[in-house]
A and B are shown apart, each in its own frame.
Chain A
Amino acid sequence: MTVGQREEADPVALPAGSTPGPPRRRRVWGDGRLSALATAVLLVALGGCWEIGSAAKLWSPEVLPAPSALLPALQALAGDPRFWADAGRTGGEVLGSIGFGGVAGLLVGVSFWKAPLVGRVFEPYLVSFYAVPLVLFYPVMIVLVGLGTPSVIILASVMAAIPMALNTWVGLAAVPPVYLRLARSISCTRWQQLFRVALPSAAPYVLAGLRLAVVYALIGCIAMEFTTAQAGLGYRIRYLYDSFETAPMYAYILVVLVVSIILTALLAVLERVVMAGRNRS
């Protein structure tokens, strides 16, 4: 029987007794390092081309200033209280929208799953909302809520909630029925069924939704500041554009880019934690 057992264990291609973790993890880290190196090389190459192009006067510094001219502008921003006020306001708006939109989307997704009829009735509207440039409603929001942070957060939250709700719903619908039967057979409460079985099973979808939610919240906030707001990074970029202050404008744009990259990277880390062991490769 023991011989048979070994044979049964064979397809895993793991020597008995060794822990299955390390070789897999090492490979993932290797991939991570490789891509980090590639990114660094790419950035340096891009920066080099940009600098050389500017030095060779391929384009005028009014259109695109050289990286070496941007550095002092960035340094100036770091000491500028107005920049920190703008960044604080936009950061608060983005985080608020991710928070409200994420939670609202999750709730909507879960209730669509719990009440399939409600889901079937509202799903088409939710999907068509995807196609609507919600920024258009910003003036309406100003009329309703007034200028300032709340109107930005409300619209950006709606934008963030839509992909979150749809992904949560799809993820929950894809939970293998046997997991739910298991939950019932071991007398899980409804709460345990949702939080211990269904949502963890749907986690990859929910996370993909959160990723989109973050992107949408960022786009929503910046775009709305861009149009009518009185402060914030988006507003400042447009203001600098209007007054031909190219170098500071690019410095602001760079800041927004870096922030969005950091947010995406944080989500990638979260995704790696949640997906640990799940990849059936």
Chain B
Amino acid sequence: MTDRGIQIDELTVRFPTPDGEQVTAVDRVTQRIPESGFVSIVGPSGCGKSTLLGVIAGLQPVTTGDVVVDGRVVTGPDRRVGLVFQEDSTLPWKTVTDNVRFAMQIAGVDRAEQRRRAREAIDLVGLTGFEEAYPSMLSGGMRQRVALARSLALEPSVLLMDEPFAALDQQTRLLLGAEILRIWRRTHQTVLFVTHDLSEALLLSQQVWVMSYRPGRIIDVVDVDLPEDRDASVVSTPEFNQLQNRVWESLRAESLRGFRQESAVGA
């Protein structure tokens, strides 16, 4: 197989909860993302969004089915797959440059190349001038840019983002979203972006997958036929509203179901 991009084939992931029950986080999911595609997953919290991402990143064992990235079945972590976490993953004892270089050091990239790529990646995420700053001096949004630069510097063909903006305020989210789009248009990675923000999903991606509450299935796939070079102003167009309504329709029932189950567990 020479097919590039991501293929998910009949993927099921089950794991035991602390109280001994089996949870089916991902249930028979079959989807594909073409090379350089940008797909977002939305779904109620507690559905298998992050689990699915973990499987593609090689961090989460598969129960049945498989995931193929760039023609190779995922069996463990792979440096061609970049991962940006929801939490702040910048290492506080390293400067911005050293944080960006860290992954390359582990990967054994030679020093001159490390420096060149670090400079490029820092420039790409707009942190030029902060190379020698420590994360403690940076805002949350800037730290996420450092984490993104660290992933980009490895030049992965696939970029997985697990709610990277979840801890940020609305304005920063919008700006960083636009940055991601700008970077993606230049680097053409295959991107899978997890979010619980519908408008963020529609703004960024070419396709949105709606995931159900446990067991996690993809219950709707929405192609986003908005202009390629859209920006935040698109949110006020009727087309955007229509899409948003459609996604919300699919999502609402699931969110309610998830909400009820979580409440029942809590009671």
- Residues of chain A having any CB pair with chain B under 8 Å: 1, 4-5, 7-9, 11-12, 14, 16-17, 19-21, 24, 176, 178-179, 181-182, 184-188, 192, 196-197, 200-201, 203, 274, 276-281
Contacts and interface: CB of A to CB of B under 8 A. Distances in A.
B154 A186 contact: yes
Interface string B58-75: 110000000000000000
Contact of B92 (A24, A277, A281): A277
A12 B126 CA distance: 15
A277 B142 contact: no
B114 interface: no
A278 B106 contact: no
Given A201-B91, A278-B134, A8 B141 contact: yes
Contact of A176 (B79, B87, B135): B87
Interface residues of B, number: 42
Interface string B129-152: 110111111110110000000000
Contact of A5 (B79, B89, B175): B175
A9 B172 CA distance: 10
B126 A5 contact: yes
8 contacts: A20-B134, A185-B58, A185-B59, A186-B107, A188-B106, A197-B91, A203-B93, A280-B92
Contacts of B88: 178
B93 A20 contact: no
Contacts of B107: 186-187
Nearest to A21: B132
Contact of A278 (B78, B132, B136, B179): B136
Contact of A8 (B57, B81, B85, B172): B172
A16, A21, A185, A278 pick with most chain B CB within 10 angstroms: A185
B87 A178 contact: yes
B154 A4 contact: no
